[in-house]
Amino acid sequence: MAELFNFTPGPEGRPMSREELVEAVRHADVLVPNLRDEIDQSLLAQAGDQLRLIANYGAGVDHIDIQTARQRGILVSSTPDVVTEDTADMTIALILALLRRLPEGLALMQGEAWEGWSPNALLGSRIAGKRLGILGMGRIGQALARRANAFGMQVHYHNRRRLREETEADLKARYWESLDQMVARMDVISVNCPHTPSTFHLLNARRLRLMKPEAVLVNTSRGEVIDENALTRMLRAGEIAGAGLDVFGGRRDANPRLKALNNVVLLPHMGSATREGRIEMGEKVIINIKTFADGHRPPDQVVPGVL
């Protein structure tokens, strides 16, 4: 960045304060935020006329008011594809952790409470043969489907649009037009759709109650897709067997009541956290800025309403 542009770095080790963001949008031609920077309507209202590109460092852009940016003539780009494989890996990791009770085994060993092998100790569930319902069959959902096939899972999915027949055949995936019907029949539900107004609390209390008591829920997308309070109540009551969450409704932290449950695996938004992924994200940002600076549209421009 410093070699190519007149670059002003943000503070090291912490997110930019609101005051620092205001100062940045008033003077910068290009802003490079991440998901911890709230780029809302009030912030964009204070942007200088020279701000013409928000090159987001990350794939998700629900922290950016895309519509207001567009109205002000500001383009927005992101870093798609980069997080696909890493997030799919983490989803499989959460499924394995839940079904095979890995955190409980780890806690037993670290607490020096293990008394030796027993035939009935920490019995989990076999992953092969389980029905996996993928909510959102985009890049990450399809990468997850390929991994699930390798583990012998049965792949099902619900999506805004049905995939082409040849893609379904390649993924060995069955499409469900009704999300309710899919949710009621799955052993594992994985949330892989973006957070939009139409997906907010898509898994609400009514829909969560459709899940089988022995089913588990995994979310590596956005916390707002699930009614977290309803999920917490059902997990505490044993109405759902478990949940693996890498994202939360409050975005910053999980519901404190979730942390007390032993049928929940909580991670600090680690889905895309690989060295390779972070480097590729930075390279994508630079390509988007350089392409824009050369007079062209960024290759990863975000179009409002198209996700």
Q: Coil, helix or strand for 91?
A: helix
Terminal CA-to-CA distance of the chain, rounded, Å? Answer: 28
Q: Which residues pair with 191 in a beta bridge?
A: 135, 219
Instruction: Name the H helices within the chain.
Output: 18-27, 41-44, 66-71, 84-99, 102-110, 139-150, 165-171, 179-185, 205-208, 228-237, 256-259, 275-293
Domain 18-81+274-293 has CATH 3.40.50.2300: no
- Digitized pLDDT (tens) for each residue of the chain, 307 residues in all: 889 999 998 888 788 999 999 999 999 999 999 988 999 999 999 999 999 999 999 988 989 999 999 999 999 999 988 999 999 999 999 999 999 999 999 999 999 999 999 999 999 999 999 999 999 999 999 999 999 999 999 999 999 999 999 999 999 999 999 999 999 999 999 999 988 889 999 999 999 999 999 999 999 999 999 999 999 999 999 999 999 999 998 656 788 899 889 899 999 999 999 999 999 999 999 999 999 999 999 999 998 654 4
- Local structure of residue 17 (DSSP, 8 states): P
Show the tokens assigned to 149: 């096939």
Do 18-81+274-293 and 84-266 agree at the fold level?
yes
The residue ranges of every structural domain in the chain are: 18-81+274-293, 84-266
> Given this model, what pLDDT does residue 165 score?
97
> Given this model, what pLDDT does residue 29 score?
96
Show the tokens assigned to 271: 């889905």
d(CA 41, CA 280) in angstroms, rounded, equals 29
Give per-residue burial for 9-34: e unless 16+ CB within 10 Å, then b: ebeeeeebeeeebeebbeebebbbbe
> Given this model, what pLDDT does residue 305 score?
55
How far, in Å, are 120, 125, 271 from residue 154 at the CA level?
27, 15, 23
Superfamily of chain region 84-266: NAD(P)-binding Rossmann-like Domain (3.40.50.720)
Q: The tokens 């020279």 sit on which residue?
A: 50
DSSP states along 96-162? HHHHTTHHHHHHHHHTT------TTTT----STT-EEEEE--SHHHHHHHHHHHHTTPEEEEE-SSP
Q: Which residues pair with 243 in a beta bridge?
A: 217, 264
Q: The tokens 């404190």 sit on which residue?
A: 256
DSSP H/E element including 245:
strand 242-245
> Given this model, what pLDDT does residue 307 score?
46
Contact (Cβ atoms closer than 8 angstroms) between residue 272 and residue 59: yes
Q: Coil, helix or strand for 184?
A: helix
Q: Which residues pair with 174 in a beta bridge?
A: 156
